[in-house]
Amino acid sequence: MIEYRDVHKAFDVPVLSGVSFTVGTGETLAVLGPSGTGKSVLLKTTIGLIVPDAGDVIIDGQSVFAANADQLQAIRRKAGYVFQNAALFDSMNVFENVAYGLPEGSLKKLGRREVTRRVARSLEEVNLDPAIVMSKLPAELSGGMRKRVGLARAIVGEPQILLYDEPVTGLDPVNAVAVDRLITDIAERTHVTSIVVTHDVEGALSISDRVALLEGGHLRFLGTPDEFRRSDDTLVRAFADRQAAVEAALAGSARSSRIADAKAPALR
């Protein structure tokens, strides 16, 4: 479905330096890497939001950078983009924000009733009650709800590809797990091809079919989550060991909490 061919991009200094790999139809690929290593830049090249200095991206057999304006619009209609901070329009309510994700041609052809039905269905798919949230403004929603509205907007047009830019950044652990589950559920239910750029190693390993690790503008690792955990590569190990340390700390915290509860006097 997606092929990156020797993609280069520099902003004063090189950000991507010859990145090449493919993403299969229906696959979920997580992209990890240190900050500033080009993860979000790579994601934006996928549908031509950023033009590389060299190389190309092929979407379902079509070159993104050789495409004319009509062809590029057709490519973009195949993709839904979930922005890092949801990127909702503050002056629009939830209904209007989600409906904005429908192709312009569809908005013109569909009646108000059908648009409302599609928006409501998308909100239900991300576990939001349309009757409660459709009339609310983004400022009236929690961070987790705004993330889910952003996801509803991305899926309302029934895309073949979903691109996630740091979907759990800024969320508490409970909401982060909920969003990860939504990503998995949507992928399994719709067979959409997904690329998830994230700093959340645990989430990445739990939702992905394969993991890519970028470092210094290069593809450092590409493989399954199990291969990532077993890798001897020093940078991969640093990411995997950091996650193991986090999991151990969380387990220790839970254990301490249980001990404290056991020692606490019973309430009478």
**The pLDDT of residue 111 is above 90:** no
E-only strand ranges, 124-265: 161-165, 193-197, 210-215, 218-223
CATH of the structural domain 2-232, one choice from 3.40.50.300, 3.40.50.720, 1.10.10.10, 3.30.210.10: 3.40.50.300
Give the number of residues written for the chain: 268
Tell me the mean pLDDT in the region 242-253. 50
Residue 55: predicted pLDDT: 96
- CA dist 228 and 66 (Å) reads 35
The Cβ-side half-sphere exposure at 18, using a 13 Å CA radius, reads: 1
**The pLDDT of residue 168 is above 70:** yes
- CA dist 20 and 6 (Å) reads 5
- CA dist 199 and 165 (Å) reads 10
pTM given for the model = 0.84
Look-up of token digits 């996801």: 151
Q: Which helix (H) or strand (E) holds 123?
A: helix 112-125
Domain spans of the chain, in order of start: 2-232
Residue 63's pLDDT band (cuts 50, 70, 90): very high
Diameter of the chain measured on Cα atoms:
75
Residue 243's pLDDT band (cuts 50, 70, 90): low
